[in-house]
Amino acid sequence: MNEENRGKYHIVTYGCQMNLHESEKMAGILSRKGYVETQNKEEADVILFNTCCIRENAENHAFGNIGELKKLKRSRPGLIIAVGGCMTQEKGKAELIRKRFPFVDIVFGNLNLEALGDLIDERIRSKKKIVSLRDEAPGAIEYDPPLRNSYPNAWVNIMYGCNNFCSYCIVPYVRGRERSRKPEHILEECRALVQEGYREITLLGQNVNSYGSDGTTEMRFPELLERVANIEGDFRVRFMTSHPKDFTKELVDVIARNRKICRLVHLPVQSGSDRILQAMNRRYTAGEYLAKVAMLKGVVPDAELTSDIIVGFPGEAEEDFEATLALVEKVGFASAFTFIYSPRTGTKAAEMPDRVEEEVQKRRIMRLIEAVNALTREKSAAYVGKEAEILCEDYDPKRGLYFGRDEYGRMGYFRSEENEVGKFVTLQIESANGVSLFGHAVRSR
Ligand code: 5AD
Ligand code: SF4
């Protein structure tokens, strides 16, 4: 139940889907306190930054945006500014935020996000600035309902944290060890979402393939995924992220026999060089990765893959980078997120010698992006003249077009006189432009 009308809130989110979903949880907390959302910072009573620390530029971005609020806070002292998310969990960062931005009212972490409502009350009551962090990750706590704003897609956490300690990655430090939610809680949430009319469910975890290995349940990810897919209703299911070392035939078999599971697997490879993969502590070789891809395509011939790839990891020589390019070509990714390596304090890689020069990193990422884009364009062009089923997500008033993605994540645009949001629409594709398809609707459901 809402309390009294408290005014308006505005949330700025950085980073991944996990963070976007956590912002939905924070929005749920704020709305139960009696706040309503505004897109306009100037009129907000609470401004919340949900930060990300996975790469330095995400941090810099947040720092810049928080800094800009100094003036607004001066003109409206009653405004509450809260900073949460992964960055505040980094060693020393909360203190840094307090020092650099003394006008920030509340600093809290992603490990205690459920405390947000109480922290706001405390701030209003006591007028004191608050830093509230939790060092130890809680168990897989059941959060209060999120206020979702991603209809017709819904994100569902199946687990939190990560045990993998890839040498470049800060996630295990800021999100703690793996903990899985109980299957009955996950299934209950998914059933309710389907009943409410959500038409796509994305199961979220840093490494969904190790679901349950913390001892929470006997159930493993393939069975959980199949149970979600078996919920009655017309919807589709995605999951992310899968670590290649834990990607199994059992999971692939589940994908093969459940048409509701999207035939797109996000399988981050990070590098195509065995030497670099070892230094990254990824625990597979390029050959093993390719064998998993072949296994997937052997069982699900129409499967496609997307990936995360890092260039310029310490010690990456030209031939290592060439090996990455070769792997990208061999797999033929539908698309990929590409990153320049960013040293994160506290990780093993940050201590490694042989940093790659920025100029070299930039040159490599440009070549990689070009290679990935060429694959994406090629795959888009192959759609022309064929049908594609998209889940309509929204309407773009500027272009006068509805749009949504097919199961492979390709964005399709079309015109319609009716509201198509939330429907599966089959498009006859007339043209393709890089990542986007254009067509006309032939049927919908
Ligand atoms: N530098 C660059 N990219 C990184 N990622 C994680 N940590 C770093 C880092 N320090 C990338 C990985 C991961 C994705 C979510 O972010 O590719 O899969
Ligand atoms: Fe980071 Fe590796 Fe865990 Fe992914 S699997 S969150 S890259 S440590």
The domain limits of the chain are: 7-132, 150-262, 269-381, 387-444
What does pTM read for this prediction?
0.96
Kindly state the tokens that stand for 241: 């992220």
**Residue nearest atom 1 in ligand 2 by C-alpha distance:** 169
Give yes or no for a contact between 316 and 272, defined as CB atoms under 8 angstroms apart: no
Kindly report which listed range (113-122, 127-136, 202-211) carries the lowest average pLDDT score: 127-136
**Any ligand 2 atom below 6 A from CB of 123:** no
**Any ligand 1 atom below 6 A from CB of 270:** yes
Reduced to 3 states, what is the DSSP secondary structure of residue 327? Answer: helix
Q: Which residues of 154-172 are buried (b: 16+ CB within 10 A; e: fewer)?
A: bbbbbbbbbebebbbbbbb
Q: What is the mean pLDDT of residues 189-212?
A: 97
The neighbour count for residue 102, using CB atoms within 10 Å, is 10
In the predicted model, is pLDDT for residue 404 greater than 90? yes
**Any ligand 2 atom below 6 A from CB of 337:** no
Of the pLDDT bands very low, low, confident and very high (cuts 50, 70, 90), residue 120 is very high
296 forms beta bridges with: none
Helices (H) and strands (E) in the chain, counts: 13, 19
Q: How many A from CA of 278 to the centre of ligand 1?
A: 15
Rounded Cα gap, residues 170 and 149, in angstroms: 28
Matching fold, domains 269-381 and 387-444: no
pLDDT for res 141 = 85
| Residue range 269-381 in CATH 3.30.750.200 | yes
**Any ligand 1 atom below 6 A from CB of 305:** no
DSSP secondary structure of 135-156? SSPP-S--PPPP---STTEEEE
With both helix axes pointing from N to C terminus, report the angle between 286-299 and 249-257 in degrees, rounded to the nearest 10.
Answer: 30
DSSP secondary structure of 160-229? E------TT--HHHHH-S-EEPPHHHHHHHHHHHHHHT--EEEEE-TTGGGTTTTTT-S--HHHHHHHHH
**Any ligand 2 atom below 6 A from CB of 164:** yes
| Residue range 7-132 in CATH 3.40.50.12160 | yes
Q: How many A from CA of 163 to the centre of ligand 2?
A: 8
Q: Ligand 2: which of 19, 54, 166 to mutate, judged by most atoms within 8 Å of the beta carbon?
A: 166
Q: Ligand 2: which of 162, 178, 282 to mutate, judged by most atoms within 8 Å of the beta carbon?
A: 162
Rounded Cα gap, residues 130 and 360, in angstroms: 43
Residue with tokens 């003394």: 102
Rounded Cα gap, residues 393 and 280, in angstroms: 37
Reduced to 3 states, what is the DSSP secondary structure of residue 416? Answer: coil
pLDDT in tens, 238-260: 999 999 999 999 999 999 999 99
Q: Which CATH number fits domain 150-262: 3.40.50.300, 3.30.499.10, 3.30.750.210, 3.30.1130.10?
A: 3.30.750.210
In the predicted model, is pLDDT for residue 408 greater than 70? yes
Strands (E), 341-435: 387-396, 401-405, 411-414, 424-433
pLDDT in tens, 416-434: 999 999 999 999 999 999 8
Q: How many A from CA of 234 to the centre of ligand 2?
A: 33
Rounded Cα gap, residues 211 and 74, in angstroms: 47
At the top level of CATH, which class does the domain 387-444 belong to? mainly beta
In the predicted model, is pLDDT for residue 406 greater than 80? yes
Q: How many A from CA of 97 to the centre of ligand 2?
A: 25
In the predicted model, is pLDDT for residue 135 greater than 90? no
Kindly report which listed range (94-103, 129-138, 197-206, 212-221) carries the lowest average pLDDT score: 129-138
DSSP secondary structure of 28-71? HHHHHTTEEE-S-GGG-SEEEEEE--SSHHHHHHHHHHHHTTHH
Give yes or no for a contact between 117 and 163, defined as CB atoms under 8 angstroms apart: no
pLDDT for res 138 = 80
**Any ligand 2 atom below 6 A from CB of 271:** no
Give yes or no for a contact between 353 and 315, defined as CB atoms under 8 angstroms apart: yes
pLDDT in tens, 27-72: 999 999 999 999 999 999 999 999 999 999 999 999 999 999 999 9
Residues 6+ apart with CB under 8 A from 318: none
**Any ligand 1 atom below 6 A from CB of 168:** yes
Rounded Cα gap, residues 412 and 405, in angstroms: 6
The neighbour count for residue 320, using CB atoms within 10 Å, is 21
